[in-house]
Chain A
Amino acid sequence: MGRYVIRRLLQLIPVFLGTTFLIYVLVWAVPGDPFAGMCGERPCEPGFIAKMNEKFHLDDNIFSQYFQYLGNLVQGDFGETYNGNSVGELIALRYPVSVQLAALAVVIEAIIGVIAGVLTGLRGKGFLDNLVLVSTLFLISLPVFVTGFALQILLGFELEWVDPVVSSDPTLGELLLPAFVLGSLSLAYVARLTRTSLMENKRSDYVRTAVAKGLKPSRVVGVHLMRNSMIPVITFLGTDLGSLMGGAIVTEGIFGIQGIGKMTYDAILQKENITVTGVVVLLVIVFLIVNLLIDLLYAVLDPRIRYE
C-alpha cells in the first residue's frame, strides 16, 4: 500500500512537467500581441512595449521562457501579471473561494443525488422513479447560465431570499445558491448513476446470499449493496471536484464570484502565460491528488481490490 502511494506520487512529477509545458506553449500560441490592445485606438508606445517585453522575457524563445518560469516556480514564485500584481497573491485570494464553491457543489450533488438515486434504485418503477427521471432529464438539458439566471431572478430579485450577487469575500452561506447552480448538472448524473448502479447490483449473487443468510434489510443495503454500488459514483464525484473548480466561469460570472475560472479566462485572452500556467498547475495537482484518493477509496469500498 505504502509503496503504491509513493509510486503514484512519483508519477506526479512527469505529469506536472508535461502539463505545465503544454499549457505554457498553448497560451503562447494564442494569436495576438498581449500589448497591442493595451493602449486603445492608437499603437502602444514602442518604449512601453520594449520595456514590457524585456520585463517578461517575451523576446526569448519559448523554451528559455518556460525554463525561467519553471525555475521560479519551484522556488515558490508564481511571477507577476502584466499590470504588476503578484500571481501568487491572486491565487491565494481566489483559490480558497473556488475550492469552497466546488466542494460545496460536490457535497450538494452527493447528498441530493445519492438520496434520489437510492430511493429510486431500491423501489424501482413507480411515481417517484418517474419523477426523478424526468426532473434529472430536465436539469441535464438546461445550460448552467439558464439555471443560474433563473434562480438569481427568482430567489434574488423576486422573492429576495438571497443577495443576487455575492460579496467580494463570500461566506459559505452566500455560496450555497451558486454551488447548487454549479452542481445541478452533475447532481442529475449522480442520481442516475446511483440508481442504475444499485439496480444492477440488487440482483447480484452476494446480495442474494446476504438476504438468504437472513441479514436485516438495512444491513444488506447499507453495508453490502451500497458499498459496491458507490464505486462509479465516487469516481464521478472525485473528478467533478477538479472540473467544477476550473469550469465555473459561467456561474462565477452570474453571481460575481471572484474565483479562478474568470481569472483564467481573462488571462488566456490577455496571453498571460504566467497566470494561466500558475492556476492550471495547481488544478492539475488537485486532479492528481483527488484521483489518488479515489483509487485508495476503491480498496476500502471493495474488498476485492488490493494495492500491492
Chain B
Amino acid sequence: MRKGRALSLTALPVSVALAVAGCGGGGDSGSGSGANNETHEVSVHGTEPENPLVPGNTTETGGSKIIDMLFTGLTEYDPVTNETKMANAERVDITPDGKKMTVVLKKGWKFHDNTDVKADNYVNAWNYTANSKNGQQGSSFFDAIAGYDDVHTSDPDEDGPQKAPEPKSDKMSGLKKVDDYQFTVDFTESHGVFKLKIGYGVYSPLPDSFFKDPKAFEEKPIGNGPFKFTSRVPGREVKVERFEEYQGAKPKIKKAKFDFGKDLEAGYAAVRSNELDFIDTVAPSKLVNNLYKTELKDRNGNQDNLAIQIIVFPLYDKKFSNADFRKSISMAINRQEITEKVFAGTRKPVKGYGIPGLPGWSDGGCGEFCEYNPQKAKELFEKSGYQGAIEITSNADGGHREWATAACGQIRNALGRECNFVPVQTFGEMRQKTNAHSHTAIYRGGWQADYPYVENFLNPLYKTGGSSNDGAYSNRAVDTKLAEGDVAYARSQQEADKLYHEAEGMIANDMPAIPLWNTSVQYGWSNKLKNVRMTPQRELDLLTVEVA
C-alpha cells in the first residue's frame, strides 16, 4: 500500500491470544521442521519502501517492516500485551518529575559490521535525525528534548521564497553521553511518556559507518537487529538473513524476503497457492462473505491495529463552529450497526478517543455523545441551526467509501437533512487539503499510533498545535489537563490514565472529531509456515515464526 501510515481496509477483531492459538496449521510436523527453518526463505508481502532504508527517515509501513527487523532500539513492544520491554537498554530510568531520562545500554551488542553498539551511536543518530538540515521525516519525534530548537529550524513562510535558517548547532544540549554505555536525556518539560516512545523505529541507533558515508549506508543498511541486510532489487525485493551474533531473542528462521512485486490481489493468490508465505492484508474482494476463510482454511488470522478511525471537523471553517451540530452528527451515527454490517463485526466501536487493548485505557470517556441517539441528535441539530447539506469527504483509494456512505445514510435518517459522500481521488490529494487547511466539508481521519498508549491518541490530535491536530482544535482547559497527565505519567501511570480519561470527556464535550471504531486487519499465510502471528504494528512476527 502506498498510503504510508494511512489506515487501510478492513479486518476481524479476535483477541491476539486466540489468533496465536489458532495458528500453526497442522502443528509440529516432527523432526524435519528445524532443518526447514535453516533452508526455506520465508517470503513476506510488502510494498516498496518510500524512502531509503534509514530509520530516522522511515515512518511508513513498507519501510518500517524492514527497518524493524534490521534495527533494535532501546526498548520494544510486546506483540501480545503491547507492554514496553527492555531490548538494547539494560535499564531506562526517568526521574519522578519527568525531566531527565538515564539510559544504560547492555554490553556486548553489535552492529552487523561487527562494531559495538555504544552510547555515541544513539546520541549521534538522534542528533542527526532531529537536525532539520538532514530533512529526516522523523525529526519531530525528538521535539521534547532540550536543545531541539537549536538543531531544528523551520521555514518562516512555508512555500514562499525564504529558506529555513541554518540550525544554530548540530547537537541537542539535552543529549549527554556519560560513558560508552550510558547517556542521559534532558527534556524541556516533564515528558515521562518518552520511555514509551523509544521503542519506535526512528529512535534506532546508527553505526559509525553511517556518518562517514550515508550514501553507502543507503545501498547496504547496517543495523543491530535480529536480521541483517543481504540484498535488494529495486521495486522487487529486499532479502535479509539472521544475525548470528544478535544478543536478543534470536529468530528461528534463517532467511526472509520482503516481496514488493505484487499488489494485494496477486499477493493473496500467491499465498493461496503457497508461492508466497505471508500477506498482512487480505484483498478486499476476498473479505466478501468471508471468502478468505474457506480459501485459506486454517491459515488466516485477525489482528487489531493500533489505530482509530475518526471523522474530523475542519474547525477553521465557520460552518462547523457550533458544538451542538458536531455532537448531533456523532449521535446520529450508529457505530454498532456499521461495524456489524459493513465490517462484518470485524471492528470494535469505541466510546472514547482511544482503542481497546491500550494498556490502562478504559472505554466510555466520550460518554453519551458517542452513543447512538437519533432523537437527541435531531434536537441538538435543530438547536444548532446548521444550514445546507452535510458532506463527508474521504480519499476513495483506501476502502472508505462503504462505511462513509453508510454513515451518511444514518445521518440523513436521523437528522432529516441531505448527506453526501464526496470522494477525493488519492490519499496524497486528501492529505494536501488537510495540511493546507482547505477542507470545506467534514472529512475522514485516522490515526495510527506510534506507541501503544492513550497519550499518543490525544496529544498529537487534540492538543493546541499538536502535530496532527489537523482540524485546528484548541481548548486551553484540555491542554492543561493533557499536560497534567504528561507530568503525572513519570510518577504513576494509574494517575495519568485517570487524567487522560478526564481529558477525553472534555474533548468530547467540544467534539472536534468523532471517534468511530478501531481498525483491524486480516492476514493469511502459506502451508509452509507455522507459529504465525502478527504484531499490532501489522508485521509478521519473524522472531517466532517457523517453517513447517
- A residues apposed to B, CB below 8 Å: 31-34, 36-52, 81-86, 89-90, 93-94, 152, 156-157, 163-165, 167-168, 253-256, 258, 262-263, 266, 269-271
Contacts and interface: CB of A to CB of B under 8 A. Distances in A.
Nearest to A149: B265
Contacts of B448: 40-41
A232 B50 CA distance: 46
A47 to B, nearest CB: 4
B275 A253 contact: no
Given A39-B137, A165-B270, A253-B263, 8 more contacts: A40-B6, A41-B446, A43-B467, A50-B163, A83-B49, A253-B266, A256-B262, A258-B236
Contact of B5 (A39, A46, A85, A269): A39
Nearest to B434: A43
Contacts of B133: 47
A258 B326 CA distance: 47
A251 to B, nearest CB: 11
Interface stretch (B184-192, B366-374, B424-432): B424-432
A38 B60 contact: yes
Contact of A164 (B140, B155, B272): B272
Nearest to B262: A256
B459 interface: no
Nearest to A31: B429
B48 A83 contact: yes
Given A47-B164, A48-B136, A93-B233, A37 B467 contact: no
A162 to B, nearest CB: 10
A118 B432 CA distance: 57
Interface residues of B, number: 66
Contacts, number: 171
A165 B275 contact: yes
A45 B266 contact: no
B460 interface: yes
Interface in B292-329: none
Contacts of B272: 157, 164
Contacts of B460: 42
A93 B135 contact: no
Contacts of A44: 137, 435
5 contacts: A40-B5, A41-B7, A44-B435, A84-B52, A256-B269
B218 interface: yes
Given A164-B273, A165-B269, A269-B2, A84 B218 contact: yes
B447 A50 contact: no
Contacts of A85: 48, 234-235
A61 to B, nearest CB: 13
B509 interface: no
B226 interface: no
Contacts of B237: 168
A50 B259 CA distance: 31
B152 interface: yes
Contact of A165 (B7, B135, B262, B428): B262
A56 B430 CA distance: 23
B134 A33 contact: no
Contacts of B52: 83-84
